[in-house]
Structure 1
C-alpha cells in the first residue's frame, strides 16, 4: 500500500524491469537512470475514470504532483514541497532558510542542491531535466534570497533560495576550505536569525529583524553578505542588501514606499564609548528620526526600518572585539565629547506622490539624511586634534485638508487644502585639542534652522502663502567643564578605585548631541 502522511502521498521508487536482451536492456537502463526516484502528490492520485474538473476560469484543471530533484525526504525537502504549493512568497520561503542552514550542518559542511517542481500528474521528468530546471531557476529566479559567510579560517559558505512560478530551488556550497566543528556550530546558531530576517522582509509592510546576523562572532566569521529580491502584494519588488566585515556595515532596502540606507564605518574602534554613552547617543538619534518623521509626515514604516537598522547594526559594537593590530587613533578620554558610536551615514528617500492632478508640481515627498564623521589630525599623538561633526537635513512636502472635518479626497475634489513644504538643517561640531598630551581646547557648536512654507487654497484660489523660518546657533567652551570632570575622576579613582566620569557626563551630553529643533538648543546662560 502506498504510504499516506498528513495528506501527502510519497510514490514508491520506480524500478525498471530487467533487460531481456542487450539492446533492450540498454534502453531500459537509461530510462531507469533518467527517472526521478521520489515524487510527492497532494491527496489521492486521480483515478482513470474520474470526471474532468475545471478551474474558476473555465480551463481544465490538471492534477499536479511535485517532483524532487534529489531523493532525500528530509525536513528541507518536505518544507520545499509544502512551500511550492503557496502563491505567497512569505509562505513559499517559510522555514526554508533555517532548514537549509541546518541541512548543511547535518551534512558536515558538504555542498548540495535541491529543487522541487510541479508537473502534470502522469508526467515522468528525467533526472537531467530536473537538474537543468533547478539550475535555471537558481540563475533566473523570480524571487531569491542569498547569504554568503566568510569564516575566520578562510572558507566561504554560500546559501541560496530561489522561487519561480512552478518550483523552488535551494543550494548550499562551501568553498576554499572545510568547516570546523566550531564553525558548524556557529553556522547552526545563525539558522533562526537567517529565517527571521527572511520572514521580516516578507511581511507587509516589511520589518527588519537581523538577530545574530548583525552580531557575528568574529572568532568564527569575518564577513557576511545577504541580499534578497522579494515580491510585494502590489506586484513590485523589495530589494534588500546587507554587508558586514571588520571595516564596514552596510544596509540598503528599496521598495515601493521608498529607500532606506545605512552605512557604518567600523575601522576605528577607539571611537566607541561605554555602554551608557552609546545608549544615550542611540536614543538621541532615534528621537531625531521620530521628530523628522513627525515634522515632514514621512512614512512611519520607512522610519521604523531606519530605526531598527540603526539599533541592530550598532548593537554589534556592544560585543567585545578581538584586537585588530591597528594602532588606536584616540585615547580613552578623547571620547568624552564624542557620541561613542561608529561614524555613519543614513538616509530615507520616500517615493514621491502626485495627489493633485491640477497642480502636478505639488509632490508629497520626504527625504531625510543624517551622518556623523570624525577627523583626527596633528603632528603627533601628543599634539592631536579631534573633531566630530554630526549633521542632518530634511526636505519634505505634504498636503492637509483646509477643513479638519473634510477628508483629503474631498479636499482635493473641491481644491480646499494646504500644501506644506519643509526645509530643515541641523549640525553639531565638537572639538578637542591637545598640546603635549594636555587638553588645551574643548568646544562645541550647535546649529539648527527650520523653514516651513504653507500655501492655502480655497476652491482652487490661493488665499495665503506663509513661510515660518527659525534658526539658532550656539557655541560653548567646555574646557573648564572637562578639566573639572577629569580631575574629579582622577581623585575618585585614586581614593576609591571607582570611575564616576560616565555618570557625570550623562547630564551634560545634551550640550553636544545633535538637535534638530532650534527651540531645544539652550543658550549658554541657560546651561548654568
Structure 2
C-alpha cells in the first residue's frame, strides 16, 4: 500500500466531506486471471477543490492461472505473511497429499504488481517471466525430485521472493501408477517437516521422513534448497537403496554426511543399531562441549546423522559380486555380534571461523572441526575362509577464547585492559579397529584394538601479556580379545555342545558394545568388559 500526499492548504476539520473509490481490473493476456488494483481518495475539510489530500493505492495481484482450488487458496493466505516459515507453511504437504487423488502436473503462482503497469503489454511479458522464475530461480527455492521404479520422474518446487510465491508439480518420463501416487502421498508429512526445519530460526535438519520410503516403489529421493540472498542456507539431500547423503551450508558452518548402505550384510539388529547410534550421539555431545561448538550447528549435525542412520529397512540381503570386486557374504550372528551394526559412513561438521575474535592477536581464531567415520571390508576366497574388518575413527580440532571470570562475556579489543582470557586449542583423536578371521569354517581370531588421545593447550593472558602456556596430552590404548570372551562364555555355560555349535545355536553374550568408538581416554581405560 502506498500513500501519496498531495498539495493543498485548505483548513482541515474533523468532517469527512468526500470519499471516492475506484477499482481497475485488467487481464494479463493469455496467461492469467484478472488482477485487481484499488485506489481510494479521501478529502478532508471543506470541499473547495476536487483534488484529494491523500491517495491510497492497493497493489494488484497477478495469478498464473485462474483457479479456486485449495492450493490456490493456500497460496493466497500464505502470500500475505512474511518470512519463509510462514510463506511455505503447509504447502509441501498439500502438494504431496494431492497425489492421493491426482497424478498430473500442476503450476500456480501469485505476484504483486503496481497499478500503473496493468495496461502495459511489455509488463505482461515481464509478469510471465517473473512467474517462471518463481519455479526455477526464486530467492528462496525448495525442490523435491523423486524417481519411481517404473521410470517416472516427479519434480516439486516451491519458490518465494519479496513479491511472489509459487508452487509447481511436474511429472515426466512416464506416468504414475496407483502405488506410485500412494507412496508419494505418504511422504507429505516428512516433506513438510523438512521444509519447516529448514525455514526455522535457527534452521534444523528434520529429514527422517524422507528416508522411510519403499525402495521397491520409489527408487530415489532428492531434496535441494537455497534460502536467502545474503547468508544463504543451502541443502542437498539424497536417498536411495544403497546411499544416503546430506550437505547443509549456512552462516554457522557446514554439515556433510554420507552413508553407504550397499554392504547390508553388515547391518545389525535394531537394538544393536540404537546402541551404536546413542554411543555416537553421546560422543558428539562431548566433542561439542570440549570444542565449544555452535549449539544449533551441532544439533543439525546430530539430527542429520540420526536420520541417515535410522530406518535401514531389510538387513538380511546377501550381496554377491564378480570380477575383481571383493566377495560379500551374509554374516553369521557371531560376526554381527562383533561389529557396530551401523552402515559405513563419513560425517563432518565445520564451523565458520570467528571473524576478528581478538583484534590484538588476529592469528587466534575461534574454530571447530570434527570428522568421524566407519569403514568395513569383507573379503576372502569362500564362506569358509574369509576376513572381516571394521574401522571407526574420529578427529576433533578446535580453538576458542574463554573469559578468566566465570560468567563474564568477553569483549576483546585493542585495549590491553580487555585482554584477560584463556585461549584453548584442542586436538583429539580416537580409533577402534575390529578384525575377525575364519579358516576352514572355524573362527580362529577376533579382536578389537582401540585408542584415544586428547591434547589440550591453554594460553593464559592477563592485560595482554602471556602469563602461562601449558599443553596437556592424554593417551590410552587397549586390545580386547573377543574370541577369548566367547570361549569363556562357552566354558561357563557348562554345556556339552561343541564351541562351533555354541556359536551357531546358543544365545551369545553381546560384544558389539565393546567395539564401539570411545573418544575419551579415561573412559576407555575404565571400560574393561565383565560378564
TM bracket (short chain): 0.7 to 0.9
- Equivalent pairs counted in the alignment come to 485
Cα separation, 2, equivalents of 1:151 and 1:329: 29
Number of the residue aligned with 1:114: 108
1:288–1:272 CA distance, 2 compared to 1 (3 A): same
For 1:125-274, what aligned pairs fall within 5 Å after superposition?
Answer: 130-231=127-228, 235-274=230-269
Cα separation, 2, equivalents of 1:53 and 1:260: 57
Number of the residue aligned with 1:342: 343
Cα separation, 2, equivalents of 1:389 and 1:53: 78
Asked if the contact 1:68–1:77 (Cα under 8 Å) also holds between the matched residues in 2, the reply is no
Asked if the contact 2:84–2:199 (Cα under 8 Å) also holds between the matched residues in 1, the reply is yes
For 1:9-48, what aligned pairs fall within 5 Å after superposition?
Answer: 34=30, 36-39=32-35, 45-47=38-40
Partner-residue secondary structure (3-state), 2:525:
coil
TM-score by length of 1: 0.84
Number of the residue aligned with 1:315: 310
1:286–1:447 CA distance, 2 compared to 1 (3 A): same
TM-score by length of 2: 0.84
Asked if the contact 2:372–2:392 (Cα under 8 Å) also holds between the matched residues in 1, the reply is yes
Matched, 1:390 2:386: no
Partner-residue secondary structure (3-state), 2:219:
strand
1:120–1:289 CA distance, 2 compared to 1 (3 A): same
Asked if the contact 2:205–2:304 (Cα under 8 Å) also holds between the matched residues in 1, the reply is yes
Asked if the contact 1:146–1:160 (Cα under 8 Å) also holds between the matched residues in 2, the reply is yes
1:220–1:53 CA distance, 2 compared to 1 (3 A): farther
Partner-residue secondary structure (3-state), 2:411:
helix
Number of the residue aligned with 1:461: 465
Larger helix share, 1 or 2: 1
Asked if the contact 1:38–1:70 (Cα under 8 Å) also holds between the matched residues in 2, the reply is no
Cα separation, 2, equivalents of 1:525 and 1:13: 81
1:390–1:215 CA distance, 2 compared to 1 (3 A): same
Asked if the contact 2:291–2:399 (Cα under 8 Å) also holds between the matched residues in 1, the reply is yes
Matched, 1:368 2:370: yes
Which of 187-196 and 256-265 deviates more?
A: 187-196
Cα separation, 2, equivalents of 1:178 and 1:138: 22
1:329–1:139 CA distance, 2 compared to 1 (3 A): same
- Post-superposition Cα deviations, 1:88-109, rounded to whole Å, max 9, x if no partner, equal 1221111221222234554x21
Number of the residue aligned with 1:404: 406
Structure 1: where are the runs of 5+ without partners? 1-10, 15-30, 55-59
Partner-residue secondary structure (3-state), 2:342:
coil
Number of the residue aligned with 1:513: 516
Number of the residue aligned with 2:15: none
Cα separation, 1, equivalents of 2:487 and 2:517: 23
Structure 2: where are the runs of 5+ without partners? 1-22, 45-51, 322-327
1:145–1:61 CA distance, 2 compared to 1 (3 A): farther
Cα separation, 2, equivalents of 1:113 and 1:523: 62
Partner-residue secondary structure (3-state), 1:294:
helix
Number of the residue aligned with 2:507: 500
Asked if the contact 1:89–1:231 (Cα under 8 Å) also holds between the matched residues in 2, the reply is no
1:387–1:118 CA distance, 2 compared to 1 (3 A): same
